[in-house]
A and B are shown apart, each in its own frame.
Chain A
C-alpha cells in the first residue's frame, strides 16, 4: 500500500512503526488458530494433571496400590456357563477370559439371528399384501419403541416362569429337553479320527471358492455357465459327510437324561443365554428390518425395469441388480446395529448372564475392590470390540462402494 501512495505523489502516510501488536495476533486467522489451540492444550493438560493428581491422592489415602497383579489371584466365584475350563479356584484373569468369550458368543449369535430375522421382516414389510405389510409394521414399531432392557427382563421372566420344571420338561424324542433350567441337547464327543472330517471341510471350502472363481473366469471368457451352486454345495457339505462316513463316524453323542430334580449330561443352553439372545435379536431385528426396507426402496425403480427390459428373469434381477445396489445403502447403518448388539449385550448383567461386565466389572470388582483397574479393562475391551467391528465393516463397505469416474 505504502508503495503505491508514494508513487502517486501524495504526501506519504506514516506507516505504523511496528507491524506487530497483540491485537493483530487475534485478528490474523492463522495466529488466532494457534493461540486457541495452545489455550485448549493448556486447559486439557491442566484438567488431566488435576484429575491424575486427585487419583494419586485418593489411592494414597485409601492405601491401595494400583496394578493389575490381582488378576492372578483366585477368583472364588462360580460361573454357570463357560466355554473354557473354569472353576472357583481359577484366577480373575481366567474369569475375565470367560466373560470375554461369553460376550463374543452372545454378540456373534445375536448378530446372526438378528440379521436373518431382520431381512425376513424387511421383506415382509415390503410385501404387496396389505395385511402382511401392516401386521409387520405394527410388530416392528412395537418392538422398536420398547426399551431393550424391558425385552430382556420380559423374555427372562418367560423362560423362568412360563417354561415347565425339569421334571415336566418338554421332551422331543428323548434327545431334546426344554425346561426352565435351559435347553438340553446331546453333546458331541469327538473321537481322534475327527480331524479327517475337519480337514475335509477345509479342503471343501477351498475347492468350492477356487471352483467359483474359475467358473467366473470361464463365463467371462466364453459365456458358458457352470453349475456353481451345486458344485459348491457338494464340496462344502458333501465332502465332510463322506469323510465322516468313511472314517467310521468318529462322533459319539452324550444324551441328556432326566434325573429327579434336574437334567443331567448333554449340552445345555442356559435360560439366561436364551433370554438375552432372543430378546437382543428380536429388538435389533426390528431396526434391521427398517434398514433393509429403506435400502431396497432406495434402489430406483428404473433399475429393475431396465433389468427386465434386458430380459433378466425376476430372480436374477434381484440378485444381480437390486440387491447389490441396496447393499450399499444397507451396510453402513447395519454396521452400527451390529455394534449396538455387541454393546447391548452388556445388559446381560440384569439377568445374570456372565459376560465381561458381569465377571470382571461385576463380581471381580466387588470382591477385590479394584474399581479403577476393572473398569479400565472393561472399557478397553469394549473399545477394542467396537473398533474391530467398525474396521471390518468399513473395509467391506469400501469394497462394495460405488466406484465413480
Chain B
C-alpha cells in the first residue's frame, strides 16, 4: 500500500509488521460472492435472473416431489384426495414388481442373494486396496456362473422361466452380462482391427462398422424376428438370451473403438521394444501394449458401459418387461391410470443414481491414473 498516512508513524522492520486484518470484502464469503456472482453489471443481472428462475422452478418441484406428495395410498383417487403432489403410493404398492418383475414371490430371496453376491464380486474389481483381493477376484470370475444358476434354478433349485424376469432385476442382468462379456470381446475386436493379417483386419473392421452403423433397436428386432431363420429348422432359443447376445455384441463394437483409440496412443517404440525382447504377439500384447492401452481407454470404456446400461431400456420395445414395461403394464390398471409422470420420474431417478455414480467412478479413476494424455 503506497498510502500509509493513516498508519501510526513508525518505521517497520521487514517481517515484523503488526498483524492487521485485510479489509472487509477482500476475504472470506464476501470476496467469493463478489468475485463469482457480482463481478460486473452483466454478472449481477445473470445472478438475479438465475435466482428468479430457481425461485420459479424449485418450490413447485419440491412440493410435487416431496411436500405435497402422497406416499401411501390404495388407488389414484385416494391419492388425489390426500394431496396435490406426486402419488408415490403407486410406486410403493408396485415396488416388488418394479424390482423383480414376475419372479415368483417365494423365490425372490434368490434375486436378493444374487445382488448381494454381485456387490461382493464388484468390490474387489473396483477397490484396489481391498484385503485378500486376489482370492476375491477369483470369486468375481466365478460370479456369472453362480448367478446364472441362482436366477435360473435347476440343480436343486426350482427353475424359473426367463419370461418371468423383469423390472430393475432385468436391467441389472442385461447391464452386468453386457459389461462382463463385451469387454473381452471388444478388446479382441480392437486387436483384430489393428492386426497385420489382412483377412482378420477386414472381418473385424466390417463387423465393427456394421454394428456401429445401425441402431440397437434394429438389432433387437433382428434378434426377435429374424434370428430363427439362421438356426437349423425347428430350433429356437430363449428370447432373453438372444437379447443378451445382441446387447453384448453391440457394446463390444463400441468398446473395440475405444480400445483402438488406446492402442493407437501407445507409442510404436513399445511394440518394437517388445519385439526386440523376443516376446511373441500375445505375450507382448498382454504384458506391454494392452496394460498401457487399457489404462488410457478406461474413461471411454466406462462411458460405453453407462450407455449400455441406459440402452437396456430398449428391450421394452420387443416386449421384455424392464422397469418401463412394468410401468406401462401397471398403468393399464384402471385403479392407477394417469400416473405416467410418477413412473417415469421414478425410473429416471433410478437410472440417474446408477449412471451418475458410474461416471463419478470413471472420473476418479481418470484422476488417479492421470496418464497425461487422452484419446
Q: Verify if B314 is at the interface (C-beta below 8 Å from A).
A: yes
Q: With the chains together, A148 CA to B313 CA distance in Å?
A: 9
CB pair A150 B340 closer than 8 Å:
no
Q: Which of B46, B310, B356 is in CB contact (< 8 Å) with A147? A: B310
Q: A150-B347, A157-B340 are in contact. Are A350 and B317 (CB under 8 A)?
A: yes
Interface residues on B, range: 35 or more
Q: Verify if A274 is at the interface (C-beta below 8 Å from B).
A: no
Q: Mark A130-154, 1 if CB is under 8 A from B, else 0.
A: 1110010000011011111110011
CB pair B324 A386 closer than 8 Å:
no
Taking CB atoms and an 8 Å cut-off, the chain B residues in 173-214 that contact chain A are: 196-200, 203, 209-210, 212-214
Q: With the chains together, A51 CA to B47 CA distance in Å?
A: 64
Q: Verify if B334 is at the interface (C-beta below 8 Å from A).
A: no
Q: Verify if B291 is at the interface (C-beta below 8 Å from A).
A: no
Provide the residues of chain A in CB contact with B36, threshold 8 Å.
128-131
Q: Which of B37, B51, B196, B324 is in CB contact (< 8 Å) with A149? A: B324
CB pair A365 B231 closer than 8 Å:
no
Q: Mark A334-372, 1 if CB is under 8 A from B, else 0.
A: 000000000110110110000001000100010000011
Q: Which of A44, A61, A379 is in CB contact (< 8 Å) with B218? A: A379
CB pair A58 B228 closer than 8 Å:
yes
CB pair A349 B217 closer than 8 Å:
yes
Q: Verify if B63 is at the interface (C-beta below 8 Å from A).
A: no
Partner-contacting stretch, out of A33-41, A169-177, A188-196, A304-312: A33-41
Q: A145-B351, A375-B222 are in contact. Are A36 and B200 (CB under 8 A)?
A: yes
CB pair A154 B50 closer than 8 Å:
no
Q: A145-B352, A146-B352 are in contact. Are A127 and B46 (CB under 8 A)?
A: yes
Q: Verify if B264 is at the interface (C-beta below 8 Å from A).
A: no
Q: Mark A78-108, 1 if CB is under 8 A from B, else 0.
A: 0000000000000000000000000000000
Provide the residues of chain B in CB contact with A361, threshold 8 Å.
218, 221
Q: Mark A371-405, 1 if CB is under 8 A from B, else 0.
A: 11001001100110011000000000000000000
Could you tell me the distance in whole angstroms from the C-beta of B238 to the nearest C-beta in chain A? 18
Q: Verify if A247 is at the interface (C-beta below 8 Å from B).
A: no
Q: Verify if B86 is at the interface (C-beta below 8 Å from A).
A: no
Q: Verify if A54 is at the interface (C-beta below 8 Å from B).
A: yes
Could you tell me the distance in whole angstroms from the C-beta of B237 to the nearest C-beta in chain A? 14
Closest to A142 in B: B352
Q: With the chains together, A361 CA to B231 CA distance in Å?
A: 21
Q: Mark B340-366, 1 if CB is under 8 A from A, else 0.
A: 110011011001100110010000000
Q: Verify if A57 is at the interface (C-beta below 8 Å from B).
A: yes
Q: Verify if A210 is at the interface (C-beta below 8 Å from B).
A: no
Q: Which of A41, A375, A383 is in CB contact (< 8 Å) with B199? A: A41
Closest to B331 in A: A157
Q: With the chains together, A149 CA to B226 CA distance in Å?
A: 24
Q: With the chains together, A265 CA to B217 CA distance in Å?
A: 35
Q: With the chains together, A128 CA to B42 CA distance in Å?
A: 11
Q: A146-B351, A161-B340 are in contact. Are A346 and B218 (CB under 8 A)?
A: yes
Could you tell me the distance in whole angstroms from the C-beta of A147 to the nearest C-beta in chain B? 4
Q: A54-B232, A147-B310, A150-B344 are in contact. Are A132 and B352 (CB under 8 A)?
A: no
Provide the residues of chain B in CB contact with A350, threshold 8 Å.
316-317
Closest to B38 in A: A129
Q: With the chains together, A219 CA to B231 CA distance in Å?
A: 69
Q: With the chains together, A54 CA to B310 CA distance in Å?
A: 34
Provide the residues of chain A in CB contact with B316, threshold 8 Å.
149, 350
CB pair A131 B226 closer than 8 Å:
no
CB pair B233 A33 closer than 8 Å:
no
Q: With the chains together, A150 CA to B341 CA distance in Å?
A: 10
Q: A347-B217, A382-B213, A382-B214 are in contact. Are A128 and B197 (CB under 8 A)?
A: no
Provide the residues of chain B in CB contact with A149, threshold 8 Å.
313-314, 316, 324
CB pair B324 A382 closer than 8 Å:
no
CB pair A150 B229 closer than 8 Å:
no
Could you tell me the distance in whole angstroms from the C-beta of B4 to the nearest C-beta in chain A? 34
CB pair B225 A141 closer than 8 Å:
no
Provide the residues of chain B in CB contact with A378, threshold 8 Å.
218, 221
CB pair A129 B50 closer than 8 Å:
yes
Closest to A148 in B: B310
Provide the residues of chain A in CB contact with B263, threshold 8 Å.
none
Task: Write 27 A-B pairs (CB below 8 A) sorted by A numbering.
Answer: A33-B197, A37-B200, A40-B199, A40-B200, A54-B231, A54-B232, A58-B233, A128-B36, A128-B39, A129-B37, A129-B47, A135-B54, A146-B310, A146-B348, A146-B351, A146-B355, A147-B310, A147-B351, A150-B347, A150-B351, A154-B340, A346-B218, A347-B215, A350-B316, A350-B317, A361-B218, A375-B221
A145-B352, A375-B222, A378-B218 are known; give 17 further A-B pairs, CB within 8 A. Answer: A40-B200, A54-B233, A58-B228, A61-B233, A130-B36, A131-B36, A132-B46, A145-B355, A145-B356, A146-B348, A150-B324, A153-B324, A346-B215, A375-B225, A383-B210, A383-B214, A386-B212
**Hey, which bits of chain B sit against chain A, CB under 8 A?**
36-37, 39, 43, 46-47, 50-51, 54, 196-200, 203, 209-210, 212-218, 221-222, 225-226, 228-233, 306, 310-311, 313-314, 316-317, 324, 338, 340-341, 344-345, 347-348, 351-352, 355-356, 359
